[in-house]
């Protein structure tokens, strides 16, 4: 008789699903998505099914990619963003871990940051089952059981990436590019600020992010440009200046190359 693998287990016996009927939640985010939270009173299971981006939790920054998952503990400060490529589709569920019918306040090995499932297709099928149950709204006990089994399986795989967190230098560069792209006069300036040579920084950034820092910075500036075009009455020249461009025509060419429309065409399409 073949040996059967034991069922995955967790340090808690069951869960209580929080924020029904809105969670569990499966969605594809907007193209230039950002997410911030200052913490909630529950745990949060979060998994990316498509798209790539970056997630910051407290002092660490992690890549978001298909199959990456996180379990956030209550009150953690989290932010995430997507800057290029396919949009991010993600699954998330809020829960309280239970033991002997009581909520647990501390869980061994949680928070769990930078996990990776071994089979994304299997995870997607399991999420489909969970979402079908969730949408019925009358099977919360079954929903909690299936969600607990899914969390146990993900954490039991121990598919934790040894170097999931980005190098602190790269994390700081990402923060600058995201939060203040107009302040960056040159990539060399950033490399010097971080205490490395330009060539070393280019190599390290490209290796960890999968994109050269110059292109990533341009993407960040174009995201900001789109926000200005969508939510302000600034003229195109004023937007270019606000993003550190001295040549409006160069700015417009870069915008069209990445977005497929000129800034004026993009704004008109919104009306």
Q: Is the pTM of this model over 0.75?
A: yes
Class of domain 168-270: mainly alpha
**What residues does each domain of the chain span?**
14-156, 168-270
Residue that the structure tokens 């341009």 belong to? 218
Average pLDDT over residues 81-99: 91
Homologous superfamily of domain range 14-156? Regulatory protein AraC (2.60.120.280)
- C-alpha 9/C-alpha 19 separation (Å) is 24
pLDDT in tens, 55-84: 999 889 999 999 999 999 998 999 999 877
Three-state secondary-structure class, residue 62:
strand
pLDDT higher than threshold 60 for residue 38: yes
Domains 14-156 and 168-270 in one fold: no
């Amino acid at each position: 008789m073949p040996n059967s693998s034991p069922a995955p287990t967790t340090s808690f016996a069951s869960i209580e699903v929080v924020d029904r009927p809105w969670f569990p939640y499966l969605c594809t985010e907007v193209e230039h998505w950002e997410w911030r939270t200052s913490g909630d009173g529950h745990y949060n299971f979060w998994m990316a099914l498509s798209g790539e981006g970056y997630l910051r939790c407290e002092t660490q920054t992690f890549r978001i990619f298909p199959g990456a998952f996180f379990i956030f503990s209550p009150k953690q400060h989290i932010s995430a963003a997507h800057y290029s490529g396919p949009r991010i589709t993600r699954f998330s569920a809020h829960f309280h871990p239970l033991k002997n019918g009581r909520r647990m306040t501390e869980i061994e090995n949680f928070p769990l940051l930078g996990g990776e499932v071994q089979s994304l297709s299997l995870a997607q099928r399991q999420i489909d089952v969970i979402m079908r149950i969730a949408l019925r709204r009358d099977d919360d006990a079954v929903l909690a059981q299936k969600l607990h089994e899914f969390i146990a399986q993900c954490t039991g795989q121990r598919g934790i990436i040894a170097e999931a967190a980005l190098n602190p230098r790269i994390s700081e560069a990402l923060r600058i590019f995201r939060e203040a792209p107009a302040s960056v006069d040159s990539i060399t300036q950033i490399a010097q600020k971080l205490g490395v040579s330009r060539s070393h920084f280019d190599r390290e950034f490209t290796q960890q992010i999968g994109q050269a820092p110059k292109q990533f910075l341009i993407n960040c500036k174009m995201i900001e440009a789109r926000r200005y075009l969508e939510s302000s009455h600034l003229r195109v020249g004023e937007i270019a200046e606000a993003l550190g461009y001295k040549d409006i025509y160069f700015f417009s060419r870069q915008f069209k190359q990445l977005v497929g429309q000129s800034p004026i065409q993009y704004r008109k399409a919104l009306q």
